[in-house]
Amino acid sequence: MLARLRSTEPVHDAAYFRRALKIPRPGPEYLMAEKASREASANLRSLTERRESLKVERTVENPGKNRIPDATYRAMHADLEAQLTAAQVTEREALAEWNSRKAAYHDHVRATLAADIDGLGALICNHLDQV
């Protein structure tokens, strides 16, 4: 049996690189927008899966389970479609909000890193002038 080889290089997470590069943490608005977007996407996915399972349940013959009556199926399907439409709007709005927060955060990080790079360049030039 072959032995598993472990990488000798350490595995770093985002927090390590954030500290090493002095990248600012995202603000609470960004985190809330990200969470809202993920929840809206999960809700939309859940409703879509419910609709698809309802369609399959309607078409598959199962001797152990009664078929859904036509009127009940139409009412459930119409209700799911209304919920899906509302969930799509919510998901679209949450994603747009998160994208705007993400763009603002990326601009802030770019400005911070540019200032750090300029400062480092000045320190290097100062050190070279002294040598």
Give pLDDT tens digits along the chain (131 positions). 455 555 566 666 767 766 767 788 899 999 999 999 999 999 999 999 999 999 888 888 877 878 888 898 999 999 999 999 999 999 999 999 999 999 999 999 999 888 888 888 888 888 888 87
Instruction: Give the span between the Cα atoms of 56 and 65, in whole angstroms.
Output: 13
Q: Is residue 51 part of a domain?
A: yes
Q: Assess if residue 21 is contained within a domain.
A: no
Q: Is residue 68 part of a domain?
A: yes
What residues contact 96, with CB distance under 8 A and at least 6 apart?
none
12 falls within a domain: no
Q: Can you give the pTM of this predicted structure?
A: 0.70
Task: Let me know if residue 20 belongs to a domain.
Answer: no
DSSP state of 2: P
6 inside domain: no
74 lies in some domain: yes
State the Cα–Cα distance between residues 35 and 54, nearest whole angstrom: 28
Q: What is the pLDDT of residue 74?
A: 93
Predicted confidence at residue 123, as pLDDT, reads 82
Domain total in the chain: 1
Residue 40 falls inside a structural domain: yes
CA distance readout (Å), 55 to 51, 62, 63, 103? 6, 14, 17, 40
The rounded distance, in Å, linking the Cα atoms of 41 and 97 is: 13
Residue 22: which region, alpha, beta or left (left: phi > 0; alpha: psi -120 to 50)? left
What's residue 85's pLDDT?
A: 97
* Full residue range of the structural domain in which residue 69 is found: 26-130
